[in-house]
Amino acid sequence: MSIQLAHSATLPQHATAVFLLPAGAKELPATLQDLQAAARQYVADQLAADAKLITVNHFSHQHYFVVVAEKGTADLVAEAVRKSGHQLLAQLKADKVAELFVQDLSGHATDLALALAEGIALSAYEFAGYKTDAKSKEAAKLTRLTVVGEAVSEAELQELHGVLQGVFLARDLINAPLNKLNAVQFAERMAEAGEEAGYRTEILDLVRIEALRMGGLLAVNQGSPEPPTFTIMEWKPEGATNAKPYVLVGKGVVFDTGGLSLKPTPNSMDMMKCDMSGGAAVTGVLYALAKNKVPLHVIGLVPATDNRPGGLAYAPGDVLTMYSGLSVEVLNTDAEGRLILADALAFAKKYEPEFVVDIATLTGSAARAIGKEGIVAMGTADETQMAALKKSGNRVHERIVEFPLWDEYAEHVKSDIADLNNLGKAEAGAISAGKFLERFAVGYPWVHLDIAGPAYLTAPDSYRGKGGTGTSVRLLYDFLKNQA
């Protein structure tokens, strides 16, 4: 169960609350009347000792004090507050706090209570999982969080709630194993989310995918006992501000063995249920947009399959004819994500889109280049569009590092017998993948986001947690909301 967000104009007396204090604070504001002299002195002593999180137990209720970090930009200050929310949640759990009030007394130009609430809520996420022990299914102790003050509105809190639900949906999808979420089940979950949020869904089955001659998606699926799907999600509200739709394309490989070019080591396959994180992110974004009724026409495309070495599995050396008509020589069946994305990117042209973004756990090269700390981006979008994406990335701290797509990189994906190959070279692997996709992203401005590093974490990392993170849901929601 997620935390309920609420708003209150004033702080009730004797309520358990957290107060945000300015960087370098040495004493409490005089406006805090609910503190006796001894408690006020205790907090002052803790502030003098440079404590960042202070707890005062009044027995009937608790007060927490979080000192805002001094950072170079407002975006970094907000991120530090989100991380403080993660630290605070551990204390709230220990104190078994069920309801918390949040008040920003930091004097910061932007009310930071929303950032703290966001950090707490994201940290409180737990994947329901499949444990049979009843204790493991207990809901988080904190169930209600109320932001105090006029600087934050009820509408802003409800918008944050909608975005968080989109992130949690993406995380749930990513964390589900293959035997609970094959390509067909994935498509059905996307449709269920659409019914709940209010966006339209169409699922193309194997027959329709064959009729469209989506050679990349069909080839990757050949070794699987399960059929592929191609899901089209559309949020088109009345009064949409854009004449042409924005299109999001998400990689939906529900499990990746590497195909006949098996993953090099067994443990490199362990977490490959997360290879549909791009598709999960697209679902989360559409869900959040629809829940919050953002006036923007947005379409999501998710080609989905698993990649296995069984049966009639496609093989290195095969030549595929893609949906666009281009031919591709397969040099490695573990470079499958770009094949299914290529068909979807070519399909996107039919919508005459304003802008297209694809999201994928595409290359280990991207993860090795910048780790879990950021997202690799490249594309044909102009500087204004890329700058807007980067600005959103900084705002939500899902930061973007732009890689080049210079003409010379086209040499990496040349083939002797086909229009291009699917592998590239050992060097600049993330760019080779982007250069491959560029051949299919024709007729519209496009950006490719490689989320291989941050999409799935094997160890906890502050409010991103462990497992699926839902990376790029908050980023793309912020970007698209600002386009509207």
The SS3 call for residue 92 is helix
Residue 91 tokens, joined? 């204390």
Residue 275 tokens, joined? 């290879």
Q: How far apart are CA 183 and CA 225, in angstroms?
A: 11
Catalytic residue numbers read 263, 338
Helix 277-291, helix 473-483: angle, nearest 10? 40
How does DSSP classify residue 439? T
Q: How far apart are CA 196 and CA 287, in angstroms?
A: 8
* Side chain identity at residue 244, one-letter code: K
Spatial contact of 114 and 20, defined as CB atoms under 8 Å apart: no
> In sequence order, which residues have a C-beta less than 8 Å from that of residue 406 and are 6 or more positions away?
none
Spatial contact of 226 and 310, defined as CB atoms under 8 Å apart: no
Q: List the end-to-end C-alpha distance of the chain, in Å, as a whole number.
A: 31
How does DSSP classify residue 286? H
For β-strands 252-256 and 17-21, DSSP reports them as unpaired
Q: How far apart are CA 114 and CA 409, in angstroms?
A: 43
Residue 86 tokens, joined? 């993660």
The CA-based diameter of the chain, rounded to the nearest angstrom, is 82
Q: How far apart are CA 318 and CA 320, in angstroms?
A: 6
Q: How far apart are CA 480 and CA 128, in angstroms?
A: 30
